[in-house]
Structure formats: C-alpha cells, structure tokens
C-alpha cells in the first residue's frame, strides 16, 4: 500500500501557473487578447480569459468566441455578470465605465480562482485596484502598439503644459517623445475635451499603468524602434513616476516572436 501511495504521489503533475487575461469586449482588443492567450498556453500556462458582459452591441464576438473555444480547448472563458451604467456614465467610453462597475464581480471571481497573474486590457485598468487588494501581480496588455502607448504614458505631461483642450489648440503641433509630431485636431476623439469624462478616465488609466508590474505591447521592436526605445529609457514617463519595474515587452502576437524585447512568459 505504501508503495502504491508513493507511486500515485509521484504521478501527480505540478500545478500550472494560472494566468487570467481580462479583456475589453471590443472585438479588436479581444482578438489580440486571444492571440496572447495562445502564446501563454504554448508555454505551459493555464489561461482563462475573463470577459465583461457589455450593455451594447459588440458585433461578431459571439461567433468569434465560439470558434476560439472549439479550436483552443486549453483556453477557458469566464463571463462576468452584466452591470448597469449610470446616467453619468453615458459621457464616457462605455468599456471604461463597464470595467469600473464590474470590479465587485471581478473581485469575487479572482478570490475563488486564485490566479498567479492578472493581465488587463487597457480599457480594464480599473481592475488594478482589485489586483492590489488581493495581492495579485498585474500587467497591462496594450493592443494598439508602442506609439499609442508612448502617447498615453506622456499624456499627463501634455496636460500640465496647457490649460487648453486639444480641440481648442486647433492646428497647433503636439510634440510627444518617441512618436511623430501631429496636429492637435488629429488627437483621438475621446481626448479632445480636457474636461470630458473620457479624458479624465484616460488620465486615470495612465496612473494605473505605472502601478503595474509591467506592460506587454502588441508590436515588435524593429517595427517601432523609436517609440520602443523612448518608452524603455523612461522618456515617456511623467516626472515623479517610475516606469514599471520590469522591461516593457513586445508580445509579438502577430509576428510570432520576431525581434521582441522579451517574451511574455519570461516574467509571468
């Protein structure tokens, strides 16, 4: 009997590190998050993608997720209960508002799941508070490449340099380290009004970026060398803050591993 017990014990496989990926319901973000999940699974990690239940039409996410589940049984999905938006939320990007109201449901799920790492989409930055409360290391996944990341990281510096909204600046040139200068009128629409709810939400996203353990970027270095070097050397970081204490990574979701700064699994 003792020998049988010993052999049974030896056959028990070690627990795989568990990674939770918290995705925005926006299809462009969800597709990139699924590709990241495939990379993690290929490196022996147990992966669950956590989804918000949107209160608006997200297009073809249902058929897409059904296809992913059928083709990738190693990736599990968990959908959080739907939340109601407040009247005051209608002036904000919906995904940001939904993520904020979903925090109690996310907390309940993560408490039971006990993941080793939480990776959050840009629009799910409110989850940083939950991760901090539960003591879970949290990483950001920026699905839009290094140039938009450099801009968002530098937004508080631009905010402090002027009291005008981008809309009021007209054709004035905006200078951001690591990216090509652009006219203020070309700023992404949610940031045009500095008094708007979305603008202030983006500033909060920025602060949460610097509370994370690292940032995964959906790019590769040779594609955006100037932006990547600027981020890595801290030139995108506002004064008084520190760039996350681990390297910014290139996830290479599309390029399948070409010329990345690091692999997503090296630190997770």
Residue that the structure tokens 């989804």 belong to: 51
Answer yes or no: 29 catalytic: yes
Residue 137 tokens read as 């290391």
Please give the radius of gyration of the chain, using alpha carbons only, rounded to the nearest integer. Answer: 20
d(CA 97, CA 90): 9
* Cα dist from 204 to 48, 155, 175, whole Å: 26, 11, 21
How big is the CA angle at 180 (ends 179 and 183), to the nearest 5 degrees? 120
Neighbouring CB atoms inside 10 A of 174's CB total 19
Residue that the structure tokens 């590769």 belong to: 220
159, 203 in Cβ contact below 8 A? yes
Residue 186 tokens read as 């070309």
User: If you ran DSSP here, which 8-state letter would residue 192 be given?
Assistant: S
The catalytic residue among 78, 121, 193, 229 is: 121
Start-to-end C-alpha separation, the chain: 39
Its sign, for the CA torsion 174, 180, 185, 190, is: negative
d(CA 250, CA 168): 35
Answer yes or no: 154 catalytic: no
The catalytic residue among 29, 101, 105, 154 is: 29
The helix/strand/coil state of 41 is helix
- Catalytic residue numbers read 29, 121
């Amino acid at each position: 009997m003792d020998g049988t017990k010993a052999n049974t014990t030896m056959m028990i496989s070690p627990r795989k590190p568990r990674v939770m990926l918290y995705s925005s319901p926006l299809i462009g973000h969800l597709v990139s998050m699924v590709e990241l999940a495939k990379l993690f699974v290929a490196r022996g990690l147990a992966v669950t993608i956590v989804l918000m239940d949107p209160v608006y039409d997200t297009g073809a996410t249902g058929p897409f997720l059904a296809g992913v589940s059928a083709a990738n049984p190693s990736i599990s999905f968990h959908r959080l209960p739907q939340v109601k938006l407040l009247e005051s939320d209608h002036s904000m990007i919906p995904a940001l508002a939904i993520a904020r109201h979903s925090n109690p449901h996310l907390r309940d799920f993560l408490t039971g799941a006990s993941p080793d790492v939480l990776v959050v989409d840009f629009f799910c930055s409110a989850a940083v508070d939950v991760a901090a409360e539960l003591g879970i290391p949290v990483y950001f996944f920026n699905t839009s490449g290094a140039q938009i990341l450099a801009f968002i990281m530098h937004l508080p510096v631009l905010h402090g340099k002027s009291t005008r909204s981008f809309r009021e600046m007209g054709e004035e040139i905006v200078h951001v380290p690591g990216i090509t200068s652009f006219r203020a009128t070309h700023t992404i629409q949610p940031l045009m009004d500095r008094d708007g709810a979305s603008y202030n939400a983006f500033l909060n996203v920025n602060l949460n970026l610097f509370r994370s353990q690292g940032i995964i970027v959906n790019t590769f270095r040779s594609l955006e060398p100037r932006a990547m070097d600027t981020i890595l050397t801290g030139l995108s970081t506002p004064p008084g803050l520190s760039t996350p204490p681990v390297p910014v990574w290139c996830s290479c979701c599309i390029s399948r591993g070409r010329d990345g700064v690091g692999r997503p699994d090296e630190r997770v």
